[in-house]
Amino acid sequence: MHQPMQGAKAPEPVTEQRMLSSAELADYLQLTEETVRRLARRGTIPSVTVARRIRYDLAAVLKSLEGEQ
């Protein structure tokens, strides 16, 4: 059995970041794609541009929407 070296730190847990398209996020939130894009333009929900396409981190979007309530 493999023993960790003394003084070695355990690896950080890997967290999954779910990046969605406007269509996927709209479907998840039961909104139209235009509403999702409008919320992003207004800064209500966070978005990132990846290879000229807008993507949304699901966890960050949900967190930002919780703060709106």
Whether residue 30 is contained in a domain is answered as yes
Whether residue 54 is contained in a domain is answered as yes
Q: How many CB atoms lie within 10 A of CB 55?
A: 16
Phi-psi region of 43 (alpha: psi -120 to 50; beta: other; left: phi over 0): left
Whether residue 11 is contained in a domain is answered as no
Whether residue 13 is contained in a domain is answered as no
Whether residue 9 is contained in a domain is answered as no
Please give the tally of structural domains in the chain. 1
Q: What is the pLDDT of residue 63?
A: 93
Q: How many CB atoms lie within 10 A of CB 25?
A: 26
Whether residue 1 is contained in a domain is answered as no
Whether residue 14 is contained in a domain is answered as no
Whether residue 5 is contained in a domain is answered as no
The answer to whether the CB of 61 falls within 8 A of the CB of 25 is yes
Span 14-67, pLDDT tens digits: 556 789 999 999 999 999 999 999 999 999 999 999 899 999 999 999 999 988
Domain, as residue range, for 52:
19-68
The answer to whether the CB of 45 falls within 8 A of the CB of 61 is yes
Q: How wide is the angle at C-alpha 54 spanned by C-alphas 24 and 63, nearest 5°?
A: 65
